[in-house]
Chains A and B, each alone.
Chain A
Amino acid sequence: MSDRAGQARALTIFTPIQPGAEPALRDYLRDMPRGASSPLARSSRTHVGRWHIIDRLPPYEVPRQDELRRAHLLFSVSVDGDERSYLEQLTRMLAAEIPELWGRCEGYPGLASSSAFVRWLLEHRVRTSFFFAAYSNATVDDVREALATRRQALAFALRAQDIDPAERLAAFREEFP
């Protein structure tokens, strides 16, 4: 199995949704704040993440396709570092959302014990067969800092075009101490 690429980890978790709870869960997911206000933004270890509801398996050209007995909540993230500590962090940071999300799933153990909740999530994990990360050794912080540095370097290069070498060196040392 291959849940890792460099320092990045892939986490895929399927949890069965309680009968009848799917519409409310779907509404809740769709109404959650997005972008920088997304609950997943609270951890600086989340590169990308998403929730899907899998309520059927595609029937196209499959004879006697499997039929799901219930819908499943699929949680998938690409994160920095080990998965357990990430889920422990997420459990602390999403304390308000977790009962609305996984609380609608069968077997949800509650948040009285965060380690029991993390264990429950990991029991529902499906191991990745092949994981690709384009910049697998860069953390979220590395990427954000590098993007800021690139903007800064570009701005400096434009500004430094018309100044003499001594002034440029002084300006560089000031800009990039």
Chain B
Amino acid sequence: MSSPSVDATPPAEAQRRVELGESLEPNIQGRLSALLTINTVRWYGVPILRALFFVGRHFPPLSSKLRDLSFIHFARWTIVRKLPGEQLRRPHLLFESNFNGTWSQYIDAFSYVTARELGAIWRWCYGFPGPVPAGPFKADIARHEYPAEHYYAAYPEASTTMVMSALEVRERLDELRSRAGGMDAEAFDVAWTAFLRDTQPHL
């Protein structure tokens, strides 16, 4: 899939990120980080990507993998064919992610846990080195990354796992609360012990 290199030099800002393995400050809000990359897609990659995303929406292996990673709050891929006032000859693939953890940890996990899925998506883009090993993949992301000028997160103190756990705790607590009104102390003791046992991993 490789093409002759036209310009392989990443901007200084991206180079710094590769060296430090850290997120740039405007991209961070509490525990959350913002990532945006744009890659150029080979013309024949667009129908394949569309088919992959269609399959991913209806038979959700991609969503399951992203959920398994447990540190992505929201993510999206967007195929850009047109921009106002521009005459684009090539399709471009925009990837956006909102995740908790450092940039370097994120790319490492992304690279190894979802290697097959990522490979299936980005292999249709120019210059994609493959998801593993993580080093060249990180360099590729840094070259294609656009720092946010302003980033906002509504609950920046919470990791994805914390949010999922909190939703689980709330559901179980609501259920216990609705039953507690009709319980005596002995029955509540049993129910409370069961609640603690079931929610312990989430507390």
Answer whether A and B are interacting partners: yes
Chain A contacts to B: CB under 8 angstroms: 2, 8, 10, 12, 14-16, 26, 29-30, 32, 34-35, 38, 40-41, 44, 46-54, 57-66, 68-70, 72, 74, 76, 78, 106-107, 124, 126-135, 138, 140, 142-147, 149-150, 153-154, 157, 160, 164-166, 168-169, 172-173, 176
Is A128 within 8 A of B170, CB to CB? no
Question: Of A15, A52, A126, which is within 8 A of B80 by CB?
Answer: A126
**Listed residue (A8, A129, A133) with the most chain B CB atoms within 10 angstroms of its CB:** A129
Chain B contacts to A: CB under 8 angstroms: 2-8, 10, 26, 29-30, 32, 34, 36, 38-40, 49-50, 53, 56-57, 62-63, 66-67, 70, 72-80, 83-86, 88-90, 92, 94, 96, 98, 126-127, 140, 143-144, 146-158, 160, 162-167, 169-170, 173, 176-177, 180-181, 183-186, 188-189, 192, 196, 199, 202-203
Question: Of B67, B80, B153, B176, which is within 8 A of A134 by CB?
Answer: B67
**Listed residue (A38, A138, A145, A147) with the most chain B CB atoms within 10 angstroms of its CB:** A147
Complex: A166 Cα to B157 Cα, angstroms: 36
Question: Of B36, B163, B196, which is within 8 A of A147 by CB?
Answer: B163
Say whether, besides A46-B152, A165-B185, A149 and B3 are in contact (CB < 8 Å). Answer: no
Q: Which 4 A-B pairs have the closest CB atoms?
A: A61-B127, A29-B149, A146-B166, A150-B166
Is A166 within 8 A of B185, CB to CB? yes
Say whether, besides A58-B39, A60-B127, A46 and B29 are in contact (CB < 8 Å). Answer: no
Say whether, besides A14-B83, A60-B6, A66-B88, A130 and B56 are in contact (CB < 8 Å). Answer: yes
Is A35 within 8 A of B154, CB to CB? no
Question: Of A58, A128, A166, which is within 8 A of B76 by CB?
Answer: A128
Q: Which residue of chain A lies nearest to B199 when distances are taken between CB atoms in the complex?
A: A153
Is A50 within 8 A of B148, CB to CB? yes
Is B84 within 8 A of A124, CB to CB? yes
Complex: A107 Cα to B177 Cα, angstroms: 55
Instruction: Point out the residues of chain A lying under 8 angstroms from B49, CB to CB.
Output: 129
